[in-house]
């Protein structure tokens, strides 16, 4: 078998033919669905006449083919592995094809498949070619007219994009509905759903007076889990009108929940399809985090209607054009509806852990990659989250007003088109008059830039000199990097006044909170009229996705944590302080020296707990120690055991020193109020639950009793899950097992709750975790063909249980490799994602490196999907 070959951005050409209108008829059957396609095709004006027509197609059984009504002879076309070529076609013509496909056998969940008996589609990025022969590329945009024929009893509901225009009965107990989508779209935005679904309906009137019907379609037992998604959708629609001037453009907007889905959700035109985990919530089944995630994803998919659908990507290299922008839009929406500083803290904590790791590993790639083997592997944190950070920097650079003007220009100029990242940034440059040439490097250079900073206060001249030096490490295929344009928001906090000092740079007064621009490799900034010695507060709000090193004394960090005017940097100072203490303890653990807690950390925490000046949501974040994964990210070589021991030691030391404070905070934030996912309630719960985690960490009797009570009170899933997790992760087996049993029996019928039940068990930091994973893989609620289950069990174990995944006997690695090998056949996209932890072998000691590489080699010896092949090759390169 030939090795999969990469495709390159530099090879882009417009398609030889475009499709102006697409008519589809689906006659549904689990093992033999018939798809008739009538494509209205014309030659692309920029391409020569006489080129063959090449259509993509995979796993399709061709039954008929005709051009302008004339069936083609066998010598007039050729079927290949990846599609179909018609050797000679007219300038403009009608192509009719009929194919047969088998949705019930589709475990890859790309194309048309079945989930719990219902039919649904997933076409992004290249799934449509598993439905019919088509130019499956985003720069071919057509209007669609789709007829779905199904069994009137089994599939009473037949949905597709746009508006329903006709329906009727057919012989043999069948019926049909025809849908028309008037907006030209690439085929990756096509969708079809058919099944026995129930709906919740609502409506809104847009700013210009269009009445829009909103529907959420679910299985009957989930009808009581749609309120929050519906409310979120309505908020998102309003927000996009108010903030971006964008209105919805059809009479109907539908969301469908499906159990088997590779990703979070999909923005198909007028018919968003959601992983049920990304849409269903109920106070008793979903945590606060899940409620917030649902709100964010519902908004994200809705926002794509403009940033993605009305204006789409020319080719898949431009994926971040729609994803980075849309993530930025959903982040701002969530910040506006919740606690903005906490939203930013959560984003950055996640980003610096997961995206930094990706950018430092063998699969590192630019936000706009220049080649790939399998586009499915590029739905990454880099494309999404780093892409969003770039758009955020752009917005901050040009200012909101110019950004909004640029955005209007972008949507107006490119409406109905498939465009590039240059087109987007070009609009921002025009709207602001700024030169963004150097800034564009953010899109082409992979790797996390590092900034080494130092500064001195000059008493005699009342000046502060800040020196910044940037470098971006080499990444695969990119040995040398150019300096980037890095916006750094900063303040100088006076050590006496404890206030932000006025900033004067090169004679210009900048206020007390300003942005400086690091564009050269090294730059010096001299602030004058600095009346007292300051501590610099750098990279406020995480103004650029970089690692910033500054030689802070621990006292300085404690000072910033207490006095910085920027909430984000107050949190970050605390994290930095904790990291320094953790470094010492990691070293102590490795050297077999007795661990001693840094009293400055204890005092900083005491200050937080006693002042309680902060908003509760921020305080809860400040009291949360950096995760083991984030600590690992900071270490030159990851020692999972030392990290776990050090973090546990810090946590327990704080709990012992501040037990009464934690207890007081817990009690002060108990509430009997009926559950609501409002920011104030969420803040209160977070604070209470952080306090509880400290109390249980030392197995304090009062703390254990409170956790048990909270579990038994069964007030809402946030509290129940936290209590259960603390009990299960404690070493009190006598408490863990009964609680797990009660919970597992109670929720056996609810797949989304069972996912949580799986995750809680396999993330417990005790030596039986791996056996539990194996045992639970045979549990009736587990299934390897359901991505949520795979993530809840295998993904949670490998990603959130470092001490057990990295067992020195290699059993954790073996389990992962076995699963990847099996999933490679069933669902290549999920298999390729799951393998990630093994690709990070270079971060570990030699013994583990060897074990991890051996498992990668074992995977490589299999017949691999392009997805897994690409990742494994990079990991072993």
Catalytic center residues? 301
Query: With binding defined as CB under 6 A, does residue 323 bind ligand PHE?
Result: yes
Structure tokens given for 431: 């709207």
Q: Which does 263 bind (CB under 5 to 8 A by kind): Zn ion, ligand PHE, none?
A: ligand PHE
- Minimal distance in Å, beta carbon 84 to ligand PHE? 24
**Binding region for Zn ion (CB under 5 A) out of 77-85, 315-323, 778-786, 865-873:** 315-323
| x-marked contacts with ligand PHE along 123-142 as a string, rule CB under 6 A | -x------------------
- Minimal distance in Å, beta carbon 256 to ligand PHE? 13
Decide whether 86 or 263 has the Cβ nearer to ligand PHE.
263
Q: Is 726:689 a contact under the CB 8 Å cutoff? A: no
Q: Is 518:545 a contact under the CB 8 Å cutoff? A: no
Decide whether 125 or 723 has the Cβ nearer to Zn ion.
125
Query: With binding defined as CB under 6 A, does residue 300 bind ligand PHE?
Result: yes
- Minimal distance in Å, beta carbon 568 to Zn ion? 25
Decide whether 129 or 729 has the Cβ nearer to ligand PHE.
129
Query: With binding defined as CB under 6 A, does residue 267 bind ligand PHE?
Result: yes
**Binding region for Zn ion (CB under 5 A) out of 316-324, 363-371, 676-684, 799-807:** 316-324
- Minimal distance in Å, beta carbon 832 to ligand PHE? 13
| Site size with ligand PHE, rule: CB under 6 A | 11
| x-marked contacts with ligand PHE along 93-122 as a string, rule CB under 6 A | -----------------------------x
Query: With binding defined as CB under 6 A, does residue 271 bind ligand PHE?
Result: no
Closest residue to ligand PHE, judged by C-beta, is 263
CA–CA gap between residue 712 and residue 113 (Å, rounded) = 40
Query: Of 39, 101, 191, 266, which lies in the binding site for ligand PHE, with binding defined by CB under 6 A?
Result: 266
- Tell me the CA end-to-end span of the chain in Å, nearest whole number: 20
- Minimal distance in Å, beta carbon 126 to ligand PHE? 10
DSSP labels, 546-608: SEEE----HHHHHHHHHH-S-HHHHHHHHHHHHHHHHHHHHHHHHHTPPP---HHHHHHHHHH
CA–CA gap between residue 183 and residue 701 (Å, rounded) = 63
Decide whether 307 or 353 has the Cβ nearer to ligand PHE.
307
Residues between 276 and 295 that touch ligand PHE (CB under 6 A): none
Q: Is 441:393 a contact under the CB 8 Å cutoff? A: no
CA–CA gap between residue 224 and residue 368 (Å, rounded) = 41
Pairing of strands 265-266, 271-275: antiparallel
Query: With binding defined as CB under 6 A, does residue 260 bind ligand PHE?
Result: no
Q: Tell me if residue 418 falls in helix, strand or coil.
A: strand
- Minimal distance in Å, beta carbon 733 to ligand PHE? 40
| x-marked contacts with Zn ion along 317-336 as a string, rule CB under 5 A | ------x--x----------
Cα torsion 809, 812, 815, 821 to 10°: value is -100
Q: Tell me if residue 49 falls in helix, strand or coil.
A: coil
Query: Of 56, 260, 301, 564, which lies in the binding site for ligand PHE, with binding defined by CB under 6 A?
Result: 301
Any idea which residue has 């300096």 for tokens? 483
Decide whether 86 or 391 has the Cβ nearer to Zn ion.
391
Decide whether 124 or 556 has the Cβ nearer to ligand PHE.
124
Please name the residue ranges forming H helices in 733-794. Answer: 733-746, 751-762, 769-776, 787-790
Decide whether 123 or 252 has the Cβ nearer to ligand PHE.
123
CA–CA gap between residue 812 and residue 436 (Å, rounded) = 47
* Backbone torsions φ then ψ of 200, nearest 5 degrees: -110, 135
Residues between 214 and 233 that touch ligand PHE (CB under 6 A): none
Decide whether 261 or 757 has the Cβ nearer to ligand PHE.
261
DSSP labels, 477-494: TB---PPP-EEEEEEEEE
Q: Which does 181 bind (CB under 5 to 8 A by kind): ligand PHE, Zn ion, none?
A: none
**Residues in Cβ contact with 521 at an 8 Å cutoff, skipping those fewer than 6 apart:** 469, 470, 471, 483
- Count of beta carbons in the 10 Å neighbourhood of residue 497: 12
Pairing of strands 252-258, 111-115: unpaired
Residues between 173 and 212 that touch Zn ion (CB under 5 A): none
Query: With binding defined as CB under 6 A, does residue 330 bind ligand PHE?
Result: no
| Site size with Zn ion, rule: CB under 5 A | 2
CA–CA gap between residue 727 and residue 732 (Å, rounded) = 7
Decide whether 122 or 569 has the Cβ nearer to ligand PHE.
122
**Binding region for ligand PHE (CB under 6 A) out of 217-225, 258-266, 773-781, 831-839:** 258-266
Q: Which does 379 bind (CB under 5 to 8 A by kind): Zn ion, ligand PHE, none?
A: ligand PHE
CA–CA gap between residue 454 and residue 465 (Å, rounded) = 8
Structure tokens given for 484: 């980037």
Query: Of 86, 265, 397, 582, which lies in the binding site for ligand PHE, with binding defined by CB under 6 A?
Result: 265
Any idea which residue has 């994926």 for tokens? 319
CA–CA gap between residue 31 and residue 154 (Å, rounded) = 15
Decide whether 122 or 226 has the Cβ nearer to ligand PHE.
122
Residues between 353 and 392 that touch ligand PHE (CB under 6 A): 379
Query: With binding defined as CB under 6 A, does residue 193 bind ligand PHE?
Result: no
As to burial, measured by CB atoms within 10 angstroms (0-12 exposed, 13-18 middle, 19+ buried), residue 623 is buried
* Backbone torsions φ then ψ of 759, nearest 5 degrees: -65, -40
Q: Is 397:442 a contact under the CB 8 Å cutoff? A: no
Binding site for ligand PHE (CB under 6 A): 122, 124, 262-263, 265-267, 300-301, 323, 379
Binding site for Zn ion (CB under 5 A): 323, 326
């Amino acid at each position: 078998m030939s090795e999969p070959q990469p495709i390159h951005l530099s090879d882009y050409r417009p398609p030889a033919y475009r499709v102006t209108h697409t008519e589809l008829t689906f006659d549904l059957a689990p093992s033999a669905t018939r798809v008739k396609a009538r494509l209205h095709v014309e030659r692309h004006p920029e391409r020569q006449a006489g080129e063959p027509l090449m259509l993509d197609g995979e796993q399709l059984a061709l039954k008929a083919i005709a051009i302008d009504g004339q069936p083609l002879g066998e010598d007039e076309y050729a079927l290949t592995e990846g599609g179909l070529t018609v050797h000679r076609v007219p300038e403009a013509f009608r192509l009719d094809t009929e194919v047969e496909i088998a949705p019930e056998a589709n475990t890859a969940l790309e194309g048309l498949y079945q989930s719990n008996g219902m039919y649904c589609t997933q076409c992004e990025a290249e799934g449509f070619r598993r439905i019919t022969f088509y130019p499956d590329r985003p720069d071919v945009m057509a209007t669609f007219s789709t007829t779905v024929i199904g069994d009137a009893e089994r599939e009473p509901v037949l949905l597709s994009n746009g508006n329903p225009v006709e329906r009727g009965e057919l012989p043999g107990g069948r019926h049909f509905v025809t849908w028309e989508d008037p907006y030209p779209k690439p085929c990756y935005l096509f969708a079809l759903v058919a099944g026995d679904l129930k709906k919740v309906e609502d409506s809104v009137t847009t700013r210009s007076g269009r009445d829009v019907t909103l529907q959420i379609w679910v299985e009957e037992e989930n009808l009581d889990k749609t309120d929050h998604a519906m409310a979120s959708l309505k908020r998102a629609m309003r927000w996009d009108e108010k903030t971006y001037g964008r209105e919805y453009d059809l009479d109907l907007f539908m969301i469908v929940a499906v159990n088997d889905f590779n990703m979070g959700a999909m923005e198909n035109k007028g018919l968003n399809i959601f992983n049920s985990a990304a849409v269903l919530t109920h106070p008793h089944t979903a945590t606060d985090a899940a409620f917030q995630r649902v709100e964010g994803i519902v908004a994200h998919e809705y926002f794509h209607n403009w940033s993605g659908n009305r204006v789409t990507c020319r080719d898949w290299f431009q994926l971040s054009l729609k994803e980075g922008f849309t993530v930025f839009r959903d982040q701002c929406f969530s910040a506006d509806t919740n606690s903005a500083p906490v939203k930013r803290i959560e984003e950055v904590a996640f980003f610096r852990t997961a995206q930094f790791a990706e950018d430092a590993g063998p699969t590192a790639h630019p936000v706009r990659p220049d080649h790939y083997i399998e586009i499915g592997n590029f739905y990454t944190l880099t494309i999404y989250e780093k892409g969003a950070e770039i758009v955020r920097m752009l917005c901050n650079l040009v200012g909101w007003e110019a950004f909004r003007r640029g955005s209007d220009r972008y949507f107006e100029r490119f409406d109905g088109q498939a465009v590039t990242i240059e087109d987007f940034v070009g609009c921002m440059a025009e709207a602001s008059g700024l030169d963004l040439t150097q800034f564009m490097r953010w899109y082409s250079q992979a790797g996390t830039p590092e900034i080494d900073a130092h500064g001195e206060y000059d008493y005699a001249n009342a000046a502060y000199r800040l020196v910044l030096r940037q470098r971006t490490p080499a990444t695969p295929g990119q040995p040398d990097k150019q300096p980037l344009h890095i916006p750094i928001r900063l303040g100088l906090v006076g050590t006496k006044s404890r206030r932000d000092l006025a900033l004067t740079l090169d004679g210009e007064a900048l206020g007390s909170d300003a942005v400086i621009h690091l564009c050269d490799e090294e730059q010096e900034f001299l602030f004058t009229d600095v009346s007292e010695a300051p501590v610099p507060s750098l990279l406020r709000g995480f103004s650029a996705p970089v690692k910033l090193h500054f030689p802070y004394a621990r006292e300085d960090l404690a000072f910033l944590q207490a006095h910085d005017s920027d909430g984000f940097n107050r949190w970050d100072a605390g994290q930095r302080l904790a990291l320094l203490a953790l470094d010492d303890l990691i070293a102590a653990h490795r050297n077999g020296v007795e661990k001693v807690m840094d009293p400055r950390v204890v005092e900083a925490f005491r200050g937080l707990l006693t002042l309680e000046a902060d908003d509760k949501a921020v305080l809860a974040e400040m009291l949360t120690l950096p995760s083991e994964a984030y600590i690992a990210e900071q270490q030159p070589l990851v020692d999972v055991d030392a990290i776990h021991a050090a973090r546990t030691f810090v946590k327990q030391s704080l709990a012992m020193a501040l037990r009464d404070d934690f207890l007081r905070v817990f009690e002060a934030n108990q509430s009997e109020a009926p559950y609501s996912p409002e920011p104030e309630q969420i803040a209160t719960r977070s604070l209470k639950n952080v306090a509880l985690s400290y109390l249980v960490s030392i197995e304090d009797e009062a703390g254990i009793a409170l956790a048990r009570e909270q579990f038994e009170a069964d007030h809402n899933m946030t509290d129940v899950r936290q209590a259960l997790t603390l009990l299960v992760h404690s070493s009190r087996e006598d408490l863990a097992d009964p609680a797990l049993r009660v919970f597992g029996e109670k929720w056996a019928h609810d797949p989304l709750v069972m996912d949580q039940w799986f995750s809680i068990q396999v993330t417990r930091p005790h030596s039986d975790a791996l056996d539990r994973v194996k045992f639970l893989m045979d549990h009736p609620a587990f299934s390897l063909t359901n991505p949520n289950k795979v993530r809840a069990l295998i993904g949670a174990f490998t990603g959130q249980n470092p001490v057990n995944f990295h067992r020195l006997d290699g059993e954790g690695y073996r389990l992962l490799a076995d699963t990847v090998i099996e999933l490679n056949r069933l669902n290549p996209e999920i298999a390729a994602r799951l393998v990630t932890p093994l690709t990070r072998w270079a971060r570990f000691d030699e013994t583990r490196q060897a074990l991890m590489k051996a498992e990668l080699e074992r995977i490589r010896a299999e017949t691999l999907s392009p997805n897994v092949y690409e990742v494994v090759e990079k990991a072993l390169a």
